[in-house]
Amino acid sequence: MNLHHSFYQLTPDTILNAIESLGYETTGRYFVLNSVENRVYDIETLKAGRIVVKFYRPGKWSQKQILEEHAFLQELAGEEIPVLAPIAIEGKTLFEWEGIYFAIWPLRNGRIVEEIQSNDLERVGALLGRIHSVGKRSQIKSRPSLDIPSYGLTALQYILDKKFITNSALAERYEKNARSAFAIFESLTNEYQIPSQRIHGDCHKGNLLISPDGFSILDFDDFLHGPIVQDFWMLLPFGEADRKHEFFDFFAGYCMFADYDENWLKLIEPLRIIRFIHYAAWIGKRWEDPSFPSLFPHFGTEEYWLKETLDLENANRDLDDANPSPTSPKENTEPEMTNKDFFWDWDN
């Protein structure tokens, strides 16, 4: 059986049969929820009300890795931290239907946060601090680490090996900037002895829910071992100098439960660059999924890779300015790339 094909072709009957195999009685009503990586549905049942089922993308996580995510969520929930832990049935939280892993979750009503208001920053900081304080207690066993060898280089090598960037000059420029950011990441990590621990890993505002009960953080699918700063920069606009005053309130809440060193924030820019590269590789690895070409229509075009390369160059320039060489000032001897360099018929 081609599990990926089955995953792409999940039908209402498959979804409801999987739920009913666990003893639920469904009404037949369900709603598709917004998720690109997995397949997630809001299901109406007769006795349990509405529940959420998540079918995990085959091949991304092993059974052991998914169960480690579930265990972390249960650990957080045990501390009364507002996260969504999976529902256990007869002591199990992970199930299988037609070779695809799935889990059941309670439905939490609320709305996604478009913008964190100034008077909410302390509460959000405290919530993340509580999560990180629990994350620090023990080490990852099977989940990945956000480090250069397994997270950065693996993504870069995939892009290069698959020859997504067909223009060789552009590929060289892309690789050079990626490796430069990787080197700065490792240098800063060593210089400031920046620790890693269990973190959310994908802590952007889209995973922050607000309800009458307060804030909760959702979707620990990318839960991993990494520097806590990864969860900071995805949640707040640290690159916007005019908003720095807001971070005082955030860290006032955070430091009630967890510690941080201001020097660790120097990792934000290299982490952002690593994210660019990892995200591009993530799209490439899922290109056979029928939904991806329509979601990312420009992926793989020369214009796409030109923009990615220019973004890396600009980010690296900011990174070099923030972390100047201790021996000599950096000189940029290479002209900036433009569309004209890569499109023979560019007239604008």
Known binding positions for Mg(2+) = 207, 219
Quote the mean pLDDT of the chain. Answer: 90
Percent of the chain scored above 70 by pLDDT? 89
User: What positions carry a catalytic annotation?
Assistant: 202, 219
pLDDT tens track for 121-175: 999 999 999 999 999 999 999 999 999 999 999 999 999 999 999 999 999 999 9
**Is 124 within 8 Å of 232 (Cβ atoms)?**
no
User: Is the pLDDT score of 66 beyond 70?
Assistant: yes
Q: Under DSSP, is residue 111 helix (H, G, I), strand (E, B) or coil? A: strand
What is the model's pTM?
Answer: 0.89
Q: How confident is the model at residue 57 (pLDDT cuts 50, 70, 90)?
A: very high
**Is 219 within 8 Å of 205 (Cβ atoms)?**
no
Q: How confident is the model at residue 244 (pLDDT cuts 50, 70, 90)?
A: low
The residue among 258, 240, 324 whose CA lies nearest residue 81 is 258
The residue among 135, 129, 257 whose CA lies nearest residue 198 is 135
pLDDT tens track for 191-241: 999 999 999 999 999 999 999 889 999 999 999 999 999 999 989 877 666
Neighbours of 223 (CB within 10 A): 24
The residue among 39, 98, 90, 88 whose CA lies nearest residue 67 is 88
pLDDT tens track for 293-328: 999 999 999 999 999 999 999 998 888 777 765 443
Find the mean pLDDT for residues 84-110. Answer: 94
**pLDDT of res. 242:** 57
**pLDDT of res. 237:** 75
Output phi, psi for 246, to 5 deg.
-70, -25
